[in-house]
Structure 1
Amino acid sequence: MLTGIHPKLPMRNRNRTIEYYMNLGFKKFGDAEYPEYLMLEKDQVQIHFFKFIDLNPKENYGQVYIRTSNIDHLYQFFLDRKVNIHPNGNLQIKTWGQREFYLLDPDNNLLTFGQSI
């Protein structure tokens, strides 16, 4: 029986990744420190990261879709923290019955946040 999923995304700089995601409200998960690996969580969502120093962000297609129960609050929370929303990803209603917005992290991983209408 499946109980969860924790995506693994590439990162070039561990400290920069921590700083970016902590600004989104994530916290470190676990007590151990691994220079090549990072686990972060917010609410019930964990995202794991592996070190990939030679990553070319323009060639990175890492993506995560994160569902939320209050997209308006989350969107405003990010705006209040001066998080850059993807230029084509402001909060909008999609034809597939979702309200969504998008962020790009420092390594060009696409984070999509969505809530069913």
Structure 2
Amino acid sequence: MDNSICPIFPSRDFERTKDFYAPLGFQLVAEFPAEGYLILANEQVELHFARNPDHVAEISNFSAFVRVDDANALWASYENLGYPRAGIPRITPAELKPWAVCEMAIVDPDGHLLRCGHNPPDDHSAAST
């Protein structure tokens, strides 16, 4: 079995979805307007979207965890892009969570949560690792 997974999220508007993810390094892989399907990728992370104009961002419970080498470095690369840190959409800084994972959060315009994180070294005393 191949070791990858591609979440499928609903999207109310493919142009808005592409515009949100492009500055984060996601590029268009394929778009099938007649079928209502969109595929974006950033290196090894592939996100699929199915058109759903009735989706409600404020009650979305779609999410995925993306394991990254360094959540702090990822945050540093996104920090100055001008995305809000609260509301929908938003990107929040990396921090060491109580479950001993350093992670940041990306919430797209449709309310989908991508948690991007890494397991820090065994010394969990640092606030951000």
TM-score (norm: length of structure 2): 0.81
Name stretches of at least 5 consecutive residues in structure 1 with no aligned partner: none
User: 2:124 aligns to what?
Assistant: none
Larger radius of gyration: 2
User: 1:59 aligns to what?
Assistant: 59
Matched position secondary structure for 2:32: coil
User: 2:74 aligns to what?
Assistant: 74
Query: One-letter code of the match for 1:51?
Result: R
User: 2:127 aligns to what?
Assistant: none
Name stretches of at least 5 consecutive residues in structure 2 with no aligned partner: 121-129
State the alpha-carbon separation in 1 of the partners of residues 94 and 85 from structure 2: 9
TM-score (norm: length of structure 1): 0.89
- Find out whether 1:98 has 2:101 as its counterpart: yes
Matched position secondary structure for 2:102: strand
Q: Residues 46-82 of structure 1: CA distance to partner in whole angstroms, max 9, x if unpaired?
A: 0100000011112211101111102222101111212
User: 2:43 aligns to what?
Assistant: 43
- CA RMSD for the aligned pairs? 1.7
Greater length-normalized contact order (CA 8 Å, ≥ 6 residues apart): 1
Identity of aligned residues (%): 28
Query: One-letter code of the match for 2:110?
Result: D
Query: Number of aligned pairs?
Result: 115
- Runs of 4+ aligned residues of structure 1 deviating over 2 Å after TM superposition are 83-90
